Structure 1
Amino acid sequence: MARSLTLSAYLALHRGKTTPLPDWRRRPNAPVVWIRCGSPTRLAAAEAIASLHEMEDLGVEMLITGAGDSALYFTAQNPNATQIEAFLDHWKPDAVLWLGGENLDPAAIVATHAREIPNILVEASGPDLAQSFSGWFPGMPRAVMQRLSQVLCTDAAAQKKLLKTKLDEAKVEITGTIDEDPEVLDFDEDQFAAVNQAIGTRQCWLAAPVRLAEANILVEAHKHACRRAHRLLLIVVPALEEDASAIADGFRAHGFETLLSADGTEISETTRVLVLDTDGDDLGLWYRISPITYAAGTLIGGNSQDPFDIATLGSSIIHGPIVGAHALRYARLDQAGGCLVINNAGELGAAVETLLSPDRTATIAMAAWDVTSGGAIATSRVASLIRDVLERKGY
């Protein structure tokens, strides 16, 4: 491989001093894969890979560093070259998996490549690579990237950026984002058939899990949407079971014929709102029933639902700006057109009205399905690459 003077200068500046080694445990007598997270947001992807049954079957030990609390292996997120050498001497990893193209460490890539340890970069995006390259000397991207064994990109922009570094085209794939295979919520097929028959040909939309403070927002949104479809049914799943009666009373006060499921009355042609009084264990049923779901809590705050739970059952998602712990999954769906995003409560009714068009609903639902299923495909490809490396090493 051609020598790069700028890379040599960079490494010389980042050599660093020898420091006392951390109190590492002994290296296991098993395959070791070092996972370097480009940022704390990559931890979920790292855990998805580490928990793969295939990795467990091979007995792979995953060392995850570089994402926030990395003190077990390094005292700094970006260790110097001397610390890296000590780490490699102790752990002797069989492969290095770089999660994310941001914060790539040239010293670690050079050191591992020199020891013939494969470097695999996954979830590489154009903006993330630009962030890494911006801190390097001129000419370094080509010298560093050519030391990678394989790259899995999230998009064509990243692939194009990498090919400009003269990285072998066969080593660059577009696989999307890493994620664990989403678990589809269960629902009772007989109950599904019964509810479907009761609703008949009427259109419906779902709001879940709804807090009492959000009820008035739903009242106004349902009023708006009913102008387009006067037989429209709204299904409400309260966040707290004890709020069900108060939510139902609020709709009745605005003239909606409202059924509280605890009353035991069947859904009729004139029912406009169905308020459930369950604890949410049957959410899978209602996501499957309704082609439109408003992810409640995303306008006022609170515990929003995992959007993959909704998308995997075929319901199109409407959500506001407050997405909480599921921000990454919402962002992925948004980018792919797998959600309808609203900025405030006043936009909810119009969003529901928009999705009353079957074509628009189907387009969003299909885009969301591609995202939820694509993560598992990318994760499977990572597992395949690791397995190939380990097989070549005789495991």
Structure 2
Amino acid sequence: MAGTGLGQLGLWLHLRSRRHDDPPLPEIPPGSGPAILVHVSPDAVRAEGQITRALRRARPGLRILRMQADARGDAGDDPALAAMILDRARPRAVLLLGSALPPALLSAARARHLPVALAELRLNAQDLGWGLQASMRRQLLEGAAAVMVADLASLDLARRMGLDPVMTGPVSEIHEPLPCSETERMSMAQQMNGRHAWFAASLPEGEEDAVLAAHQAVLRRAHRALLILSPHDPARLPALARKVEDQGLTLSRRAEDDDLGDEIQVLLTDGPTEMGLWYRLAPVTFMGGTLTGRGDAMRHPFEPAALGSAIIHGPEQGAHATEWRQLTGARATRALRHADDLPQAVTDLIQPESIATLATNAWTVSTGGADVALRIAERLSRLMDRPAEIPA
């Protein structure tokens, strides 16, 4: 299905018509070591640094030519310029990072029998369509020597195209786990005595009612359940304490060092402090701000992910859209469409096996960036030592 007559026609038309005014040419690094050409899509810029560092560790002396589209255009989309770059630099291989498939660069590399590797690739259902653009993308994908996809959905789509993909997962940003006092963690865990706990992290006022309604639903299923509640604004602590008690829930205040017996249903923290402690204690975390779009309340999703807490979140992503996309692609979160979905989501995650699946997937994404970059570098290094297979 990958290569079709329509795809060949689309590629021919594209190469015949696409031209840019003075697109950027990559600088050819000096030296005598082997060279590769790396083309970076906008959706893969964050992954580039880790991958290039891994490449240099795998191949000391490697010279890396970098290409990326800017406001003037993309040299990888211009046939004459793409051919000029490859002929001058004479790279051993071409690496495309991200979802863009520059037709001129891929065609020129194929004509020169250069192996092309795709990494951080994300496909969508439109790539299986029968239009000219989708057929052309499949035609370009067919010539790749290595197809490394970032998520399970792309893996399935690539297989349906007749490709032989490998899922490496995404090259995620390295995010160090938040610290906590181990003595305090052990003491709190002992007080909790095996109770099911969930954490509402950095909760804005507009989401308080939804979280408390969800906890009432959880208590009907697990009467010993504990909600750890961390308001985004510490000034909300007195009003939030009254709201909790007005709903008939028994409350413990972290600021007053109250006991945490089985009768306590809500633990009210001091606000956005000791976050590393709460992520470690709560098997499930709801990320505040993601229902109402309060960007100042939204915390980095890799915080709970790196500490093994399963994540529930609303539709708003704020400044961390890339990380949410990585977690979603790995099936590592429970997403909500709106606030009414929260009670069911939290109730569903009472079961340890459900929590474990999400938490494990999220932990892999949040901590696996360096390992993924290494696997990509090793695969490319092997390709540099052999010619690409050129379809008949």
Q: Distance in 2 between matches of 1:77 and 1:131?
A: 27
Report the equivalent of 2:275: 283
Q: Distance in 2 between matches of 1:105 and 1:60?
A: 23
Q: Distance in 2 between matches of 1:126 and 1:309?
A: 27
1:36 to 28, 36, 39: 39
Q: Aligned with 1:122: secondary structure?
A: strand
Aligned-pair distance for 1:315?
Answer: 1.4
Report the equivalent of 1:148: 144
Q: Is the 8 A contact 2:76 2:104 kept in 1?
A: no
Provide structure 1 residue ranges, at least 5 long, that are not aligned to the other structure.
164-168
Pairing 1:106–2:99 present: no
Aligned-pair distance for 1:358?
Answer: 2.5
Q: Distance in 1 between matches of 2:256 and 2:56?
A: 49
1:294 to 272, 280, 286: 286
Pairing 1:224–2:220 present: no
Q: Aligned with 2:207: secondary structure?
A: helix
Aligned-pair distance for 1:341?
Answer: 2.2
Q: Match for 1:358: what amino acid? A: P
Q: Distance in 1 between matches of 2:64 and 2:259?
A: 53
Length, aligned pairs only: 374
Q: Distance in 1 between matches of 2:52 and 2:176?
A: 17
Q: Is the 8 A contact 1:156 1:174 kept in 2?
A: no
Q: Is the 8 A contact 1:294 1:318 kept in 2?
A: yes
Pairing 1:197–2:190 present: yes
Provide structure 2 residue ranges, at least 5 long, that are not aligned to the other structure.
388-392
Aligned-pair distance for 1:351?
Answer: 2.0
Q: Is the 8 A contact 1:112 1:118 kept in 2?
A: yes
TM-score when normalising by structure 2: 0.78
Q: Distance in 2 between matches of 1:22 and 1:258?
A: 61
Q: Is the 8 A contact 1:209 1:239 kept in 2?
A: yes
Counterpart mapping for 1:177-256 below 5 A: 177-180=170-173, 183-256=176-249
Report the equivalent of 1:359: 353
Q: Aligned with 2:252: secondary structure?
A: strand
Counterpart mapping for 1:314-393 below 5 A: 314-372=308-366, 376-388=370-382
TM-score when normalising by structure 1: 0.78
Aligned-pair distance for 1:180?
Answer: 4.3
Q: Match for 1:34: what amino acid? A: L
Aligned-pair distance for 1:63?
Answer: 5.0
Report the equivalent of 1:305: 299
Aligned-pair distance for 1:368?
Answer: 3.3
Q: Match for 2:199: what amino acid? A: L
RMSD: 3.7
Q: 1:117 to 1:264 in 2, by over 3 A?
A: same
Report the equivalent of 1:27: 29
Q: Distance in 2 between matches of 1:173 and 1:121?
A: 10
Percent identity over the alignment? Answer: 29
Q: Is the 8 A contact 1:159 1:173 kept in 2?
A: no
Q: Aligned with 1:227: secondary structure?
A: helix
Greater Cα offset, 194-203 or 301-310: 301-310
Q: Distance in 1 between matches of 2:176 and 2:162?
A: 34
Counterpart mapping for 1:45-60 below 5 A: 45-52=47-54, 55=57, 58=60
Q: Is the 8 A contact 2:317 2:324 kept in 1?
A: yes
